[in-house]
């Protein structure tokens, strides 16, 4: 039997939960040609949200183009993939791909290579020198294609923080913005994690993308939604769970979308008919065991002060710089605490929201409680 709970993949359709406010806002932005920047910590549902909005789009004149920067480390790779995806998403047949490419890449003389399924899979090889010379033409492609075809093109750039790896990220961003800000028929959804870094790209006045569009901070999904989602997921597959226990799953995982699905899945697989407290406890222990090597490795890479800091956060201390907390957990100097915050946030172990500091992974938090705070 297929599990009603999914984690680790992009979620769309019937199993996509809530996010009504965000879907409406994003859809409205698209129809008004407003760019959107979407930021959240890892695995809160950015990719799924954009995919769902694209799926719900009913306007045949609005076309989505997806580009994941996850594996892209250089400007050249970016231009190549950008051009390929633009052509793929705006043409239906390969003859049309070639026509489009010829029309818009006049000066670039692209070479095509076809994949295993030539009707649906191809990539464009562009000369390194040609890319350098024609970067501007490539960046203007969305607007040109959209105008020519009479469509609105929504360019979705996932894992955008990866441009931080490029040789000259700032110059590159300036280049992108200088073209994209003039586009009328195409608009952009830019999203990514490493919240700190993404925020740096869009929130700081001196940065090229400052005020490029509507800045959306994705939230977690509220507990009430999870409760009925989990109950329904069990019921749909001939099993059952009480609302109280379903709610407990969500609260133990602090409503973190990925982890709520992860723990729900684990409970669901262990349940034959009706889920109960013992099954829930076993499911959590199984998850801790599965992840334990990774957590051990993660903490091996931390300094003693950083571990002390994680203990303080896990114990629920709110005033982390108060002298009493510093003394109780041996946290070092204020300068040290500041450095720890940055280091742990960069490692994506903690999340900082205003004055609150949280451990990002709720299972890691349980592990710390169990094994480090004894």
Ligand X SMILES: Nc1ncnc2c1ncn2[C@@H]1O[C@H](COP(=O)(O)OP(=O)(O)OP(=O)(O)O)[C@@H](O)[C@H]1O
Interface residue list for ligand X (CB under 6 A)? 6-11, 16-19, 40, 42-48, 193, 257-258, 261
Cβ-proximal residues to 123 (8 Å cutoff; 6+ apart), any chain: 80, 84, 112, 113, 115
Per the CB < 8 A criterion, the answer to whether 188 and 157 are in contact is: yes
HSE-up of 217 (CA within 13 Å, CB side)? 9
Give the residues across from 41 on adjacent strands: none
Token pair of 331 as six digits: 């946290």
CA pair distance 209, 202, nearest whole angstrom: 5
State both tokens at 127.
């000369």
86 DSSP β-pair partners: none
Question: Measuring CA to CA, how many Å separate 205 from each of 161, 172, 209, 210, 373?
Answer: 17, 17, 9, 6, 42
Instruction: State the minimum distance, in angstroms, from the CB of residue 13 to ligand X.
Output: 10
Is the Cβ of residue 39 or residue 368 nearer to Mg ion in the bound state? 39
Query: Are the beta carbons of 65 and 153 closer than 8 angstroms?
Result: yes
Residue 19 contact, options Mg ion, ligand X, none, Cβ 5-8 Å cut-off depending on partner type: ligand X
As measured in angstroms, the least distance from the Cβ of 241 to ligand X is 17
Provide the minimum distance between the beta carbon of 326 and ligand X in the complex, in angstroms, as a whole number: 33
Residue 100 or 255 with smaller CB distance to ligand X: 255
Smallest gap, in angstroms, from Cβ of residue 163 to Mg ion?
A: 16
Nearest in space to 153 (alpha carbons), one of 162, 161, 144: 144
* CB distance 373 to 314 below 8 Å: yes
CB of 40 to Mg ion, least distance (A): 9
Which residue lies nearest ligand X, judged by its C-beta?
Answer: 45
Please give the size of the binding site for Mg ion, defined by CB under 5 A: 2
Q: Does 47 bind Mg ion (CB under 5 A)?
A: yes
Residue 161 makes contact with Mg ion by CB under 5 A: no
For residues 64 and 329, which CB has a smaller minimum distance to Mg ion in the complex?
Answer: 64
Closer residue to ligand X, CB minimum distance, 227 or 317: 227
Query: Residue 43 or 152: which CB sits closer to Mg ion?
Result: 43
Q: Which residue number, 46 or 311, has a Cβ lying nearer to Mg ion?
A: 46
Answer with the entry of ligand X, Mg ion, none that 365 interacts with (C-beta below 5 to 8 A by kind): none
Which entry of Mg ion, ligand X, none binds 258, CB below 5 to 8 A by partner kind?
A: ligand X
Name the residue among 94, 92, 187, 84 with its Cα closest to residue 138.
84
Q: Which residue lies nearest Mg ion, judged by its C-beta?
A: 47
Compute the least distance from the CB of residue 65 to ligand X, in Å: 17
- Of 222 and 281, nearer to ligand X (C-beta) is 222
Binding site for Mg ion (CB under 5 A): 46-47
């Amino acid at each position: 039997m297929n599990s009603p709970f999914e984690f680790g993949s992009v979620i769309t359709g019937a199993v996509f939960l809530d996010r009504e406010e965000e879907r409406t806002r994003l859809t409205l932005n698209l129809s008004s040609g407003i760019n959107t920047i979407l930021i959240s910590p890892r695995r809160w549902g950015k990719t799924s949200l954009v995919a769902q909005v694209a799926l719900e789009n009913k306007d045949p004149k609005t076309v989505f183009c997806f580009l994941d920067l996850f594996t892209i480390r250089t400007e050249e790779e970016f231009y190549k993939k950008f051009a390929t995806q633009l052509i793929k998403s705006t043409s239906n047949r390969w003859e049309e791909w070639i026509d489009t490419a010829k029309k818009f890449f006049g000066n670039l003389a692209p070479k095509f290579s076809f994949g295993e399924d030539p009707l649906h899979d191809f990539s464009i090889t562009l000369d390194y020198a040609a890319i350098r010379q024609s970067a501007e033409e490539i960046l203007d492609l969305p607007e040109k294609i959209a105008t020519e075809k009479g469509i609105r093109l929504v360019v979705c750039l996932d894992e955008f923080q990866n441009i931080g790896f490029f040789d000259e990220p700032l110059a590159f961003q300036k280049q992108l913005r200088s073209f994209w800000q003039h586009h009328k028929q195409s608009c952009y959804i830019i999203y990514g994690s490493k919240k700190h870094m993404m925020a740096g790209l869009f929130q700081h006045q001196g940065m090229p993308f400052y005020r490029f569009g509507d800045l959306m901070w994705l939230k977690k999904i509220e507990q009430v939604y999870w409760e009925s989602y989990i109950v329904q997921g069990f019921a749909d597959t001939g099993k059952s769970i009480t609302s109280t226990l379903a709610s407990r799953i969500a609260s133990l995982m602090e409503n973190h979308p990925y982890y709520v699905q992860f723990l729900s899945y684990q409970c669901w697989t262990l349940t034959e008919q009706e889920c109960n407290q013992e099954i829930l406890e076993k499911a959590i222990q199984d998850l801790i065991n599965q992840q334990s090597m990774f957590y051990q490795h993660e903490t091996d890479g931390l300094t003693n002060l950083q571990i002390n800091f994680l203990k303080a956060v896990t114990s629920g201390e709110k005033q982390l710089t108060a002298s009493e907390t510093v003394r109780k957990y041996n946290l070092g100097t204020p300068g040290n605490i500041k450095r720890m915050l940055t280091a742990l946030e960069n490692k994506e172990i903690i999340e900082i929201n205003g004055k609150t500091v949280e451990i990002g992974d709720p299972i890691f938090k349980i592990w710390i409680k169990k094994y480090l705070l004894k």
